[in-house]
Amino acid sequence: MTTTATAPDALVAEIAQLMVEALNLETSAAELNPDVPLYGDGLGLDSIDILEVALAVSKRYGFQLRADDENNANIYASLRHLAAHVAAHRTA
């Protein structure tokens, strides 16, 4: 199932802050471009970083982000994509 929902800017900002805290980034949440790729080029996260983000999102929003999800490339395409996925699936 592909996520087509859009996320409000407040949720994008909230998840950006969550990522900064979970990954101890030396940049502020406001400096994260919500449209650049999270993985590799762009924000430059690696698979361990993505796992940390998945765990933090799962705890905060009450649903599991799974490593074997066939939509992971889309989910982690950008901060905005991740926020749209959270908006569509959150329980908390």
Structure-block tokens of residue 35: 């449209």
Convert the pLDDT of each residue in 19-76 to its tens digit: 999 999 999 999 999 999 998 888 999 999 999 999 999 999 999 999 899 999 999 9
What would the mean pLDDT of 87-92 be, rounded to a whole number? Answer: 91
- End-to-end Cα spacing for the chain: 21
- Whether the pLDDT of residue 2 is over 70: the answer is no
Sign of CA dihedral 21, 60, 12, 64: positive
User: Tell me, what's the pLDDT at 6?
Assistant: 64
Q: What is the CATH number of domain 9-89?
A: 1.10.1200.10
Domain boundaries, the chain: 9-89
Do 54 and 15 meet the contact criterion of CB atoms below 8 Å apart? Answer: no
User: Tell me, what's the pLDDT at 40?
Assistant: 83
Gap between the Cα atoms of 67 and 50, Å rounded: 9
User: Tell me, what's the pLDDT at 92?
Assistant: 82
